[in-house]
Chains A and B, each alone.
Chain A
Amino acid sequence: MKNSVDISVNFAGRQLQNPVLTASGTCGYVDELSDFMDVNCLGGFITKSITLKPRLGNPTPRIVETDSGMLNAIGLANIGLERFLSEKLPLIEKLSIPVYVNVAGQTLDEYLAVTEALCKCKALAGIELNISCPNVKAGGITFGKDPAQIESITAQVKKLCASKTLIVKLTPTVTEISDSARAAINGGADALSLVNTFTAMVIDIERRKPVLANRTGGLSGPAIKPMAVYLVNKVYNDVAKQAKIPILGLGGIQTGSDAIEFILAGATAVSIGTATFSEPNCCINVIEGIKNYCLRHKLSGVEQLIGSVE
């Protein structure tokens, strides 16, 4: 029996050696996980969110563990564009895999300024537009809940980064996610990231107060996986398949089996987020798991699986 299989995929015009990427906010800027895995073995890398100015993030507590999941309200703590370009970009330039920078902002101008600067960087494959962070008071999700605003911001960002891949990351906390997806595609998105965290709350019943200083946070981890799979499948069927726009599926993936589920639902590639916290080499294990599934099912690759759920 063959013991290797080519699991490369074409993601928005670029060939990824495998369909496994990191998820923004769970893997640092570039090399933080290199003690645990060879980043060059991944399909691609998505950095932590970058904003124009450094952000300290929200007061603490910023996370709370839930049943099979966790809530976070980090508040986009990051080193800001300037330090990212001077300190992290040189490290990114040494990588052999595509790197996408997650871009966040409070205003449209901030998104555009960060995009413009990043699009001048040859080493970057593209950007992931974060219009779905539930944990900041301005910007973030406020852009991502209104289809008209999604289309407008996507179009303006795309104008500045025509030569790069533009992934738009959507929030699941809307009534009709396919409307959001359609708006992003109309605006010029090359790919969609589905889904960001679900807005949620945990209450400390002894103190009768929310546990998180931010009151609410974004729920991630295995608890959201079936909902994320459903939303990927819905967007695939409603919009993405016909528009030929690839989906980057994420939400609670811990194993190769989880990743296959997303691919069958319609994802071209997947991102590993929360699982990295407990298993810092999780991406590598997911890649192995996908290969094993293909071998077990005598498949020549994974692309034939995309959206093939009956």
Chain B
Amino acid sequence: MKHSCSCKTKALAPATVLSNEKLGPRIFRITLQLKGLGAKAFAAFKPGQFAQFEVRDLALPAKYAIPADLKDKSRKNNILRRPFSFYNVEVVEDSVILRALYLVLGAGTLRLSTTTAGDEISLVGPLGNGFSVPKNKKLALILAGGMGAPPLQHLGTFLAEKHPEIRVAAFAGARSKADLPFNLVKTHAETELSFCLEEFARHNIESHVATDDGSVGYKGFVTDLLQHWLTKNSIDPAQTIIYTCGPDPMLASVARLAASLNVDCQVSTERVMGCGFGVCQSCAIECYKPGTQEKIYKLCCTDGPVFDSREVAWK
């Protein structure tokens, strides 16, 4: 049973902001440090898990600094936490360093964007179930869509460090070059596909880029890019696994592709959450009852956010 042991796996703990940098017009990178009980709980943080950030106590930017499209949203006093995943989780002595990317989209992230080194943010986590690595896999294909990238970057590092027997190839898609939450590096080949991602390259993971507008890399969806790659690389379906995170339509299309290839696929989903730990029942996600076509609801927060793609009833 899930809660049968008395050990605590989740913590409600303060994290100290080490840095919070603006990378693009709306993209930020935040680095946090946990100590004590928080560090103890987050030391076991798995790629694909998440944490809930308390944003209500954080200050809004000065009125003039709030982008016009967020002015109305920023008038709201938020009472709920906001879920975030991390692209890197590192145990350093008795502390844990968490690194996250976020897009300023509403009042919560607007408040988060004002934090500076030394500020404290209350975290609840680690929450949810992360990605798992089934036995006998030799090839992992990682498909990241837009801001779905951070947990997959974490996974890439994890696979490189803990599963050297698995070859990893990463595919990142975004609307345009500016929306790609990675560092692009030029490779030697002078073609339109001659870019790779520094975050994966540093672990010797091959990587490929697709943009909807073709501003960098392959012009088209990341799923098309994978299919293009598959024409040049042969895979053994039984020894291959696809990991993906991104917007729902992309996840559905990756799930269809995985099914057609007969390859296992794990999808990291996102739903509006109240609590993040299973008590509010808000983040229901339509799934099939195992072995049937009967639809049931599972919870994104405690049953997911990572699901087997065959489990989810895609719209």
Partners in one complex: yes
Which residues from chain A sit less than 8 Å from chain B, CB to CB? 25-28, 31-36, 48, 56-57, 60-70, 72, 74, 77, 221-222, 274, 276-281
Contact of A27 among B75, B124, B279, B285 (CB under 8 A): B279
Q: Which of B1-55 contact A (CB under 8 A)?
A: 3, 8-12, 52, 54
Cβ–Cβ contact B282 & A62, under 8 A: yes
Cβ–Cβ contact B278 & A28, under 8 A: yes
Question: Bound complex: CA of A34 vs CA of B6, how far in Å?
Answer: 8
What chain A residues lie within 8 Å of B9 (beta carbons)? 35
What chain B residues lie within 8 Å of A34 (beta carbons)? 3, 8
What are some 5 contacts across the A-B interface (CB < 8 A)?
A25-B280, A25-B281, A57-B284, A60-B271, A278-B81
Cβ–Cβ contact B278 & A32, under 8 A: yes
Q: Is B92 an interface residue (CB 8 A)?
A: no
Chain A residue nearest to B41 (CB atoms) is: A35
Q: Which of B62-121 contact A (CB under 8 A)?
A: 75-81
Q: How far is the CB of B287 from chain A (nearest CB, A)?
A: 11
Contact of A28 among B11, B76, B279 (CB under 8 A): B279
Contact of B281 among A62, A222, A279 (CB under 8 A): A62
Question: Bound complex: CA of A242 vs CA of B107, how far in Å?
Answer: 47
Cβ–Cβ contact A277 & B274, under 8 A: yes
Q: How far is the CB of B43 from chain A (nearest CB, A)?
A: 15
Cβ–Cβ contact B79 & A33, under 8 A: no
Cβ–Cβ contact A60 & B284, under 8 A: yes
Which applies to chain A's interface (DSSP): helix, strand, loop or mixed?
loop
Contacts A35-B8, A35-B10, A68-B77 given: A74-B275 contact, CB under 8 Å?
no
Cβ–Cβ contact B3 & A32, under 8 A: yes
What chain B residues lie within 8 Å of A36 (beta carbons)? 10, 12, 124
Q: Is B256 an interface residue (CB 8 A)?
A: no
Q: How far is the CB of A279 from chain B (nearest CB, A)?
A: 8
10 A-B pairs with the lowest CB-CB distances in the bound complex, closest first:
A63-B282, A277-B275, A35-B10, A68-B77, A28-B279, A277-B274, A35-B8, A74-B281, A77-B281, A62-B282
Q: How far is the CB of B110 from chain A (nearest CB, A)?
A: 14
What chain A residues lie within 8 Å of B75 (beta carbons)? 67
Chain B residue nearest to A252 (CB atoms) is: B79
Contact of B280 among A63, A64, A66 (CB under 8 A): A63
Cβ–Cβ contact A77 & B79, under 8 A: no
Q: Is B296 an interface residue (CB 8 A)?
A: yes
What chain B residues lie within 8 Å of A27 (beta carbons)? 279
* Known contacts A67-B76, A222-B79, A276-B275; 20 further A-B pairs (Cβ under 8 A): A25-B280, A26-B279, A26-B280, A34-B3, A35-B9, A36-B10, A56-B284, A60-B271, A60-B272, A61-B282, A63-B272, A63-B274, A70-B79, A77-B281, A77-B297, A277-B81, A277-B274, A278-B80, A280-B12, A280-B275
Question: Bound complex: CA of A84 vs CA of B305, how far in Å?
Answer: 25
What chain A residues lie within 8 Å of B278 (beta carbons)? 28, 32
Q: Is B277 an interface residue (CB 8 A)?
A: yes
Q: Is B177 an interface residue (CB 8 A)?
A: no
With a 10 A CB-CB cut-off, give which of B3, B75, B296 has the most chain A CB atoms.
Answer: B3
Question: Bound complex: CA of A77 vs CA of B284, how far in Å?
Answer: 10
Cβ–Cβ contact B279 & A65, under 8 A: no
What chain A residues lie within 8 Å of B296 (beta carbons)? 56
Cβ–Cβ contact B124 & A280, under 8 A: yes
Question: Bound complex: CA of A278 vs CA of B75, how far in Å?
Answer: 19
Cβ–Cβ contact B3 & A277, under 8 A: no
Q: Which of B114-162 contact A (CB under 8 A)?
A: 124
Q: Which of B279-315 contact A (CB under 8 A)?
A: 279-285, 296-297
Q: Is B167 an interface residue (CB 8 A)?
A: no
Contacts A34-B3, A63-B272, A77-B297 given: A276-B279 contact, CB under 8 Å?
yes
Question: Bound complex: CA of A72 vs CA of B275, how far in Å?
Answer: 12
What chain B residues lie within 8 Å of A274 (beta carbons)? 79
Question: Bound complex: CA of A56 vs CA of B295, how far in Å?
Answer: 9
Cβ–Cβ contact A33 & B297, under 8 A: no
Contact of B56 among A69, A72, A278 (CB under 8 A): A278
What chain A residues lie within 8 Å of B281 (beta carbons)? 25, 57, 62, 74, 77
Q: How far is the CB of A285 from chain B (nearest CB, A)?
A: 11
Question: Bound complex: CA of A35 vs CA of B13, how far in Å?
Answer: 12
What chain A residues lie within 8 Å of B275 (beta carbons)? 276-278, 280
Q: How far is the CB of B6 from chain A (nearest CB, A)?
A: 8
Cβ–Cβ contact B3 & A74, under 8 A: no
Q: How far is the CB of A39 from chain B (nearest CB, A)?
A: 11
Cβ–Cβ contact B77 & A67, under 8 A: yes
Chain B residue nearest to A277 (CB atoms) is: B275
What chain B residues lie within 8 Å of A62 (beta carbons)? 272, 281-282, 284
With a 10 A CB-CB cut-off, give which of B9, B52, B54, B284 has the most chain A CB atoms.
Answer: B284
